[in-house]
Structure 1
Amino acid sequence: MVALLPPLEAPVDPVDALRRIAFLLERTRAGTYRVEAFRNAVKTLRTVDADELAERAEAGTLQEIPGIGKSTSGVIAEALSGELPGYLESLQDKVGGPLVEGGEELYAMLRGDCHLHSDWSDGGSPIDEMVLTGVELGHEWMVLTDHSPQLRVANGLTVERLKQQLKIVDGVNRSLAGHFTLLKGIEVDILDDGSLDQTDEMLGRLDLVTASVHSKLRMNADPMTRRMVAAVSNPRVNVLGHCTGRLVEGSRGTRPQSEFDARAVFEACAEHGTAVEVNSRPERCDPPDELVTLALDIGCLFSIDSDAHAPGQLDMKAYGCERAERLGIPPERIVTTWDVDRVREWAAP
């Protein structure tokens, strides 16, 4: 079951200290530049011999290693001396607790996540780091859902790149068999006519498909409704991602929600067993409360997802759990509380 990470205590491995700092910065939406300094330092340390690292720490020459700066060298030196790095201790005290009050019981019931990204599209970390963090948080399964080809700005996956990624997912599952399952997936764009931005053959090779609108968000209500109803009625689609497309805060500014007949869309979701995503990103908070309530009344399934683009953002599902618990969504109707076998059975066309 998913749980809050306990704070690290001394002594701590330098890599673990750097990873935890990056995680804490990511879960509180710190600037990318700050996070990258610690993520890049982790990559560097994994290529440096332990004896050399200790010698450089003793000599005060850690910053001569490419990719190690003033802040990261301080963390490394303190960790190697057996201390809990001061910056890590400060972050754990300030931002290491729950992200939001409420939803704790539901958060503990989560087993998986149907929407997350790696550096294969617009995520900031490789697949193995996303998986490792998911395992540390207590996930039993996650679905890798990098973007589809049309979303070029997000480095969407062509057929060939998706085929390559599926081989990596197979490797992850071989190495973690019996402990964790990485499901094959995609966040596929819903095209203007409601068709999906990936070949049917490739969609058929996936375990689960999250479908989202990313273009022409201001389309008139009637064609937008037809577009979304067609997508959620497709037997290949399992989750309707961030259905209104709105932005309510954050560095990208705000954006109004798309106009569509929500009742018609959610009735199609209920009829075809497509889950309505409760997107947990604070800047999306999508769907708004009144649409969650409508989908609940209609009888829809739900998926509480992180839409994580970095490992620390996997923890953002706490925001979605607070909303779901407050709005009265029964846990049994939330697919991310299900075990992996039940998810696979439900997601199969």
Structure 2
Amino acid sequence: MDPVAALDRIAFLLERAQAPTYRVRAFRTAAATLVRMGGPETAERAAAGSLEAVKGIGPKTAQVVREALAGSVPGYLRALEDEAAALPEGPPPTPGALALRAALRGDCHMHSDWSDGGSPIEAMGQAAASLGHAYAVLTDHSPRLTVARGLSPERLREQLDVVAALNGRWAPFRLLTGIECDILDDGSLDQEPELLERLDLVVGSVHSKLRMESPAMTRRLLAAVRNPLMDVLGHCTGRLLTGRTRPESRFDAERVFAACAEAGTAVEINSRPERLDPPRRLLRLAVAAGTFFAIDTDAHAPGQLDWQLLGCERAAECGVPAGRVVNTWEADGLLAWTRTRRAP
């Protein structure tokens, strides 16, 4: 078995199972290290027992490489495949969800290892393209979220240059520039306005003081969604359904969604399994308010970019019109909307 393929498959299975980022990164890093070394050197080091001496390869990843080179499926990979196969199957996708997923042209919310994602920008873009997307928006975190290595203005400017270079050789796929910007306590956005103006798309999300009293949170969200620099309201309730669960933030959803509709700001349908935000009752309120929507994965690794169907199921169930989902539009239409707040 090809050792690079084995390492990548392990990383993909870990991502899909929502394993900690550091575990995923170990296998992605090892795979990239093997690519740089090349097959002959990899085989020589495996035979000499010196793989672990190479930066980026540890005992566990070295064992995977040795087993793959020996012609067998590595034990660690086999165990992950068995775990995945043993998971109970959910209900089959509904026709409405499948049709909506087929209509999607991109993903407006994903992270790289520049902030708290587990993989390089290039790997995230290539994975999005492999899923058939025409574009994806890179939305690493803003400075205030230090636990997620949020991007300072200087780092964000550097990232813009990296994205431009990648797009120079990726056409027709387009990696659009963006950010997941913290919505601060007063509803302002955590990045320089000049930089936000340069970006293709801005997701704004609350990551702090999620238990504010409802009137204060309502004022906070109203200020944010009315800001012409913010395009998408990310995971609006902040809830977490699994692991260290977290209740929904409290706010006047009717007022906030009415403001979104008036300003042309999209409400995100977050497809992460632990979020699935907004809840169905609020999603139906947003539909009734006439807002735009963005069905996003909030992916932090390539294997998570395949989660969009989860959001499509909820959208179809709650009557979200496909024409109001901004990432059913081609890239030029999406960018026209971020400038004008009107459907193309």
TM-score, structure 2 normalization: 0.89
Query: 1:222-270 CA deviation, whole Å, 9 max, x = no partner?
Result: 12112111111111111000111111212xx111111111000001111
Is 1:105 matched up with 2:99? yes
Q: Which has the higher contact order (CA 8 A, sep 6+)?
A: 1
Q: Aligned partners of 2:20, 2:90: CA distance in 1, in Å?
A: 17
Q: Aligned partners of 1:133, 1:34: CA distance in 2, in Å?
A: 19
**Per-residue deviation, 1:167:** 0.6
Relative to 1, partners in 2 of residues 1:120 and 1:65: Cα closer, same or farther, differing over 3 Å? closer
Aligned to 1:129: 123
- C-alpha contact 2:211 2:249 (8 A) present in aligned 1: yes
1:73 paired residue among 62, 66, 74 = 62
Aligned to 2:311: 320
Q: Partner of 1:287: helix, strand, or coil? A: coil
- Backbone CA RMSD of aligned residues: 2.4
Q: Aligned partners of 2:215, 2:236: CA distance in 1, in Å?
A: 15
Q: Aligned partners of 2:132, 2:78: CA distance in 1, in Å?
A: 23
Aligned to 2:155: 161
1:279 paired residue among 251, 270, 280 = 270
- C-alpha contact 2:3 2:68 (8 A) present in aligned 1: yes
Q: Sequence identity of aligned pairs in percent?
A: 59
The runs of 5 or more residues in structure 1 that have no matched partner are: 1-11
Tell me which moved more, 339-348 or 321-330. Answer: 321-330
Relative to 1, partners in 2 of residues 1:22 and 1:346: Cα closer, same or farther, differing over 3 Å? same
**Per-residue deviation, 1:37:** 3.1
Is 1:118 matched up with 2:112? yes
Query: 1:109-140 CA deviation, whole Å, 9 max, x = no partner?
Result: 32211111112122122211111221222221
Aligned to 1:23: 12
- C-alpha contact 1:114 1:303 (8 A) present in aligned 2: yes
Q: Aligned partners of 1:141, 1:122: CA distance in 2, in Å?
A: 21
Q: Aligned partners of 1:117, 1:99: CA distance in 2, in Å?
A: 27
**Per-residue deviation, 1:58:** 4.7
**Per-residue deviation, 1:89:** 5.8
Q: Partner of 1:204: helix, strand, or coil? A: helix
Q: Aligned partners of 1:328, 1:200: CA distance in 2, in Å?
A: 35
Q: Aligned partners of 1:290, 1:62: CA distance in 2, in Å?
A: 54
Tell me which moved more, 127-136 or 66-75. Answer: 66-75
Relative to 1, partners in 2 of residues 1:100 and 1:117: Cα closer, same or farther, differing over 3 Å? farther
Aligned to 2:253: 262
Q: Aligned partners of 1:275, 1:13: CA distance in 2, in Å?
A: 44
- C-alpha contact 1:100 1:322 (8 A) present in aligned 2: no
Relative to 1, partners in 2 of residues 1:347 and 1:75: Cα closer, same or farther, differing over 3 Å? same
2:140 paired residue among 146, 151, 171 = 146
Amino acid at match of 1:332: G
**Per-residue deviation, 1:100:** 6.6
Aligned to 1:332: 323
Tell me which moved more, 110-119 or 86-95. Answer: 86-95
